[in-house]
């Protein structure tokens, strides 16, 4: 009964133990080269016990920490015996099963394991009942029964090790597995060790069974027990080494049986065909490979993450060039701006800027460069800073656009740009804006009529003079001014264009403290598709006591534009009487013929619009600045 | 700005070559982000095949967005030397006309109410150029 397990186990358990060992080893291997530390104790313990009891199960407890000692002992007493009667405790139980009278010493030494004894008596029976069925070698193995004799002699060793014995079963398994592995291969590669462990184990089993001198073999093992495990295995000293191996092989099994779960797992694995076990071994190897590769991948991912952060910083800098962060207030004006890139292919190209001018006014520039994407980046920055420079130099929005137009057109290449430029003077409470192919800002809260959109100025870069239109509106009360790019109004909501009327509704519904970010978020919630970038900029102007003043609409004209009836349409939109339009156009022709370019001013207030014609030359920068200075004088 | 239904689902384009160098491209429906690439290819292909007098018949067009306007600007630029682009019937739909006015592009494009007027002008330009 006893020998049966001792012979058959080596065959069955090594793979099992190996599997468990690897399962536990994997994390250990990756955590640190820890296994090395466990090796020596595992070996020595295993070997000694192997000699002592024939079942190294107890000896396994390589790392077996002292605290676990007693408890472990008790456990090993129970389970160790169950699997292999030769263990210290098992040894006694083995006696209980087969040779009860063998050694009273054991009884003494295992006084602590006494409870284990009681149980041991039952467990061996159970095990014995099972194992013979599984292993046909059982009868042959019974030859090994003589073994007890040497075993008993070895008992002192057992007792010495008894406390150390029953380490937590798993670690025990690892240790034993590992110990032989090192002994044989010395490489410590778990996959290899697995194999090397198993093969010798089988050889041992067959050797012992075939020769029928297993008793002698065991005896040899026991005698060799004193020798350090490493040296003996290193020499490969015939039967003794083999026996030691066998012992160390068996130990894990006993150890694994220390826990009920492991025990049952072991039993389940025992009935698994060798092929499947080999497969499991393969899988473990694979898992090992994967673990290594995942570690490498993780390192690479960390590096990429670092690079990404650096890139995002760079992108943030670039984006800051186009979409600078704004203070919540500039002087008495609440300011905010927001940008949302297109969901489709047309990303990039929108830009804005809001800044204070030296004289207390604030300026807004918001636009959109065609030829979207990263390609538009250089043009977009150029546009923003060129316009800003002209505005800061003191030009009015219209003059800034008229002056920058030809300069920028040369730089834009095949692109063109639409842009709105505005200044707001808090003392005069006047908003002045000029657009180039761009929708005019929406002004909520002002009584001013909607700006005239016929005869609007063309974009920058389409081969026509721009900066031809400018609107000045008084803002007596509190007002919300919204600049936006066409991406906002060209967004689609249930198949329809979002449109400026919807934008106006959303603007009217957002709270007093809402920012441009809130606005775009609200719009984004209402639309299905965002084919273009959306940018918006809000100026929140608080109420004042000034009475509403007139609105001034300006249109700069040359002969070509007069020929195209732009003056006529412009005047018609303002509600000027047709007869008067005729007179004005005739006068315009005379003045344009004389001065080149003439500005038609419409002062809209109560009653009939007042019409003023004044020559203006923007052909060169110098006169433009003088003209601009005059315009500023009128405003401030 | 116009608020109209349709997401480019209705778009048609056809090309008719008259005498050598003169081509009429007719578009219908909505000129937007979706149809702009088709419009761009057709017009530039006509130019590549020698068309110098291009008339774009827009009378059945119900909507034009900034992307399609950008295409027209580019085509006009390509024709700037020795060629002419005329837009016909863009004033048929008030919304379309409004977009041209709002963007100020009515001052840069040569727009005519009918194809005949447009053709007369582009042919005249050849005479003027020649």
pLDDT of residue A283 exceeding 90: yes
Band of pLDDT at residue A235, cut at 50, 70 and 90 = very low
Q: Is-contact A180 A244, C-beta < 8 A? A: no
Summarised one tens digit per residue, pLDDT across range A52-68 is: 333 433 333 344 333 44
Interface test with A, best of B78, B95, B103, B110 (most A CBs within 10 A): B103
Shortest Cα distance from A349 to chain B (angstroms)? Answer: 13
pLDDT value at position A121?
Answer: 42
Say which of B5, B66, B105 has its CB closest to residue A496.
B5
CB pair distance less than 8 Å for A414 and B66: no
Q: Which residues of A touch B108 (CB under 8 A)?
A: 458, 462-464
Interface test with B, best of A343, A369, A452, A456 (most B CBs within 10 A): A456
pLDDT value at position A165?
Answer: 41
Band of pLDDT at residue A178, cut at 50, 70 and 90 = very low
Q: Is-contact A591 A615, C-beta < 8 A? A: yes
Shortest Cα distance from A611 to chain B (angstroms)? Answer: 22
Summarised one tens digit per residue, pLDDT across range A254-268 is: 444 457 788 887 888
pLDDT of residue A405 exceeding 70: yes
| Cβ-Cβ contacts under 8 Å for A300 (sequence gap 6 or more) | none
> Residue A261's CB: how many other CB atoms inside 10 A?
9
Band of pLDDT at residue A109, cut at 50, 70 and 90 = very low
Q: Which residues of A touch B4 (CB under 8 A)?
A: 496-497
The values of phi and psi at residue A482, to 5°, are: -120, 115
CB pair distance less than 8 Å for A496 and B32: no
CB pair distance less than 8 Å for A497 and B107: no
pLDDT of residue A87 exceeding 70: no
Summarised one tens digit per residue, pLDDT across range A455-497 is: 899 999 998 889 999 999 988 888 999 999 988 888 888 878 8
Say which of A344, A456, A489 has its CB closest to residue B104.
A456
Residues above pLDDT 70, as percent of chain A? 54
Structure token digits, residue A259: 């826990």
pLDDT value at position A389?
Answer: 95
Q: Is-contact A86 A3, C-beta < 8 A? A: no
The values of phi and psi at residue A427, to 5°, are: -75, -45
Band of pLDDT at residue A617, cut at 50, 70 and 90 = low
pLDDT value at position A372?
Answer: 57
Summarised one tens digit per residue, pLDDT across range B14-26 is: 998 988 899 999 9
Shortest Cα distance from B105 to chain A (angstroms)? Answer: 5
pLDDT value at position A627?
Answer: 46
Would you say how long chain A is, in residues? 636
Please give the Cα distance from A431 to A551 (Å, whole number). 10
Band of pLDDT at residue A589, cut at 50, 70 and 90 = very high
Please give the Cα distance from B124 to A460 (Å, whole number). 28
pLDDT value at position A376?
Answer: 76
pLDDT of residue A106 exceeding 80: no
Q: Which residues of A touch B98 (CB under 8 A)?
A: 453
Structure token digits, residue A522: 């609200």
Q: Is-contact B13 A511, C-beta < 8 A? A: no
pLDDT value at position A347?
Answer: 54
Say which of B3, B67, B104 has its CB closest to residue A457.
B104
Band of pLDDT at residue A453, cut at 50, 70 and 90 = confident
Give the Å distances, CA to CA, from A359 to A434, A468, A597, B25. Answer: 20, 25, 29, 53
Say which of A439, A495, A498 has its CB closest to residue B102.
A439
Shortest Cα distance from A562 to chain B (angstroms)? Answer: 10
Summarised one tens digit per residue, pLDDT across range A313-330 is: 776 677 777 788 888 889
A505 touches chain B (CB under 8 A): no
Structure token digits, residue B44: 């530039």
Q: Is-contact A425 A360, C-beta < 8 A? A: yes
Q: Which residue of B has its CA nearest to A464?
A: B108
More reliable by pLDDT, B9 or A363? A363
Buried b (16+ CB within 10 A) or exposed e, A176-188: bbbbbbbbbeeee
More reliable by pLDDT, A331 or A629? A331
Shortest Cα distance from A553 to chain B (angstroms)? Answer: 15
Q: Is-contact A473 A448, C-beta < 8 A? A: yes
Summarised one tens digit per residue, pLDDT across range A191-225 is: 344 444 444 444 444 444 444 434 444 444 444 44
pLDDT value at position A291?
Answer: 96
Say which of B2, B73, B80 has its CB closest to residue A497.
B2
Please give the Cα distance from A498 to A442 (Å, whole number). 15
Structure token digits, residue A553: 């609409």
Shortest Cα distance from B37 to chain A (angstroms)? Answer: 12
Summarised one tens digit per residue, pLDDT across range A123-146 is: 444 444 444 444 444 444 333 344
Q: Which residue of A has its CA nearest to B64?
A: A490
Q: Is-contact B24 B42, C-beta < 8 A? A: no
pLDDT value at position B11?
Answer: 86
pLDDT of residue A421 exceeding 50: yes
CB pair distance less than 8 Å for A490 and B65: yes
Q: Which residues of A touch B80 (CB under 8 A)?
A: 463
pLDDT value at position A223?
Answer: 43
Shortest Cα distance from B112 to chain A (angstroms)? Answer: 12
Residues above pLDDT 90, as percent of chain A? 27
A90 touches chain B (CB under 8 A): no
pLDDT value at position A348?
Answer: 66
pLDDT of residue B35 exceeding 60: yes
Shortest Cα distance from B31 to chain A (angstroms)? Answer: 12
Beta strands in A439-531 (DSSP E): 442-444, 469-474, 479-484, 492-493, 496-497
Say which of B1, B33, B107 has its CB closest to residue A499.
B1
Q: Which residue of A has its CA nearest to B110?
A: A564
- What mean pLDDT is predicted for residues A166-180? 41
DSSP state of A79: I
- What mean pLDDT is predicted for residues A429-438? 94
Say which of B3, B65, B66 has its CB closest to residue A496.
B3
| Mean pLDDT value across chain A | 68
pLDDT of residue A282 exceeding 70: yes
Band of pLDDT at residue A240, cut at 50, 70 and 90 = low
From first CA to last CA, the distance across chain A in angstroms is 113
A370 touches chain B (CB under 8 A): yes
């Amino acid at each position: 009964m006893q020998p049966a397990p001792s012979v058959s186990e080596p065959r069955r358990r090594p793979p099992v133990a190996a599997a468990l060992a690897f399962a536990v080893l994997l994390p250990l291997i990756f955590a640190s080269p820890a296994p090395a530390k466990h090796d020596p104790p595992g070996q020595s313990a295993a070997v000694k016990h192997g000699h002592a009891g024939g079942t190294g199960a107890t000896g396994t407890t390589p790392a077996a920490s002292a605290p676990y000692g007693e408890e472990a002992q008790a456990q090993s007493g129970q389970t160790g015996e169950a699997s292999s009667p030769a263990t210290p405790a098992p040894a006694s139980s083995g006696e209980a099963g087969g040779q009860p009278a063998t050694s009273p010493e054991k009884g003494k030494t295992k006084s602590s394991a006494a409870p284990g004894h009681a149980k041991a008596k039952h467990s061996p029976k159970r095990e014995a009942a099972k194992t013979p069925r599984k292993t046909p070698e059982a009868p042959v193995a019974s030859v090994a029964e003589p073994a007890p004799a040497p075993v008993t002699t070895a008992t002192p060793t057992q007792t010495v090790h008894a406390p150390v014995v029953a380490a937590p079963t798993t670690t025990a398994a690892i240790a034993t597995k590992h110990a032989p592995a090192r002994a044989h291969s010395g490489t410590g590669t778990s996959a290899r060790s697995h194999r090397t462990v198993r093969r010798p184990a089988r050889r041992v089993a067959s050797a012992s069974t075939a020769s029928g001198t297993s008793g002698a073999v065991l005896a040899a093992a026991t005698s060799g027990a004193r020798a350090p495990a490493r040296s003996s295995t290193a020499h490969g000293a015939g039967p003794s080494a083999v026996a030691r191996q066998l012992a160390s092989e068996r130990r894990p099994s006993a150890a694994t049986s220390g826990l009920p779960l492991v025990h049952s797992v072991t039993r389940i694995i025992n009935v698994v065909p060798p092929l499947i076990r080999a497969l499991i071994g393969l899988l473990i190897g694979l898992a090992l490979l994967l673990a290594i590769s995942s570690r490498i991948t993780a390192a690479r991912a960390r590096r990429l993450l670092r690079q990404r952060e650096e890139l995002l910083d760079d992108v943030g800098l670039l984006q800051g060039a186009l979409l600078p962060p704004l203070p919540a207030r500039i002087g008495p004006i609440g300011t905010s701006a927001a940008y949302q890139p297109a969901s489709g292919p047309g990303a990039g190209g929108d830009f804005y800027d809001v800044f204070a001018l030296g004289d207390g006014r604030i300026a807004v520039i918001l636009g959109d460069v065609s030829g979207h994407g990263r390609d538009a980046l250089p043009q977009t920055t150029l546009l923003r800073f060129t316009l800003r420079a002209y505005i800061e130099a003191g030009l009015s929005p219209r003059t800034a656009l008229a002056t920058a137009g030809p300069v920028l057109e040369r730089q834009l290449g095949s692109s063109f740009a639409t842009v709105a430029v505005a200044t707001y003077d808090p003392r005069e409470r006047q908003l002045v804006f000029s657009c180039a192919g761009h929708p005019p800002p929406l002004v909520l809260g002002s009584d001013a009529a909607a700006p005239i959109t016929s005869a609007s100025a063309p974009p920058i870069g389409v081969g026509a003079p721009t900066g031809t239109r400018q609107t000045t509106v008084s803002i007596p009360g509190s007002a919300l001014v919204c600049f936006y790019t066409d991406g906002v109004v060209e967004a689609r909501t249930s198949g329809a264009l979002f449109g400026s009327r919807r934008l106006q509704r959303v603007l009217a519904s957002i709270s007093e403290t809402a920012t441009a970010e809130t606005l775009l978020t609200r719009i984004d919630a209402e639309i299905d598709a965002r084919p273009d970038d959306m940018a918006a900029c809000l100026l929140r102007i608080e109420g004042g006591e000034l009475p509403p003043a007139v609105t001034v609409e300006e249109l700069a004209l040359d002969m070509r534009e007069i020929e195209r009836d732009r003056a006529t349409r412009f005047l018609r939109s303002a509600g000027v009487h047709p007869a008067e339009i005729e007179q004005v156009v005739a006068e315009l022709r005379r003045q344009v013929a004389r001065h080149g370019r003439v500005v038609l001013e419409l002062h809209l207030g109560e009653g009939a619009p007042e019409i003023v014609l004044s020559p203006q030359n923007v052909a060169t920068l110098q006169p433009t600045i003088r003209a601009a200075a005059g315009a500023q004088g009128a405003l401030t | 700005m116009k608020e109209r239904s349709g997401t480019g689902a209705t778009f048609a384009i056809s090309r008719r070559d008259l005498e050598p160098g003169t081509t009429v491209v007719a578009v219908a429906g909505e000129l937007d982000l979706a149809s702009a690439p088709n419009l761009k290819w057709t017009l530039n292909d006509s130019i590549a095949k020698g068309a110098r007098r291009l008339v774009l018949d827009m009378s059945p067009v119900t909507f034009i967005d900034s992307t399609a306007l950008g295409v027209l600007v580019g085509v006009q630029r390509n024709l700037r030397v020795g060629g002419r682009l005329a837009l016909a019937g863009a004033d048929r739909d008030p919304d379309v006309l409004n977009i041209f006015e709002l963007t100020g592009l009515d001052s840069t494009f040569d727009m005519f109410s009918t194809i005949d007027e447009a053709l007369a002008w582009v042919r005249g330009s050849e005479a003027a150029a020649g």
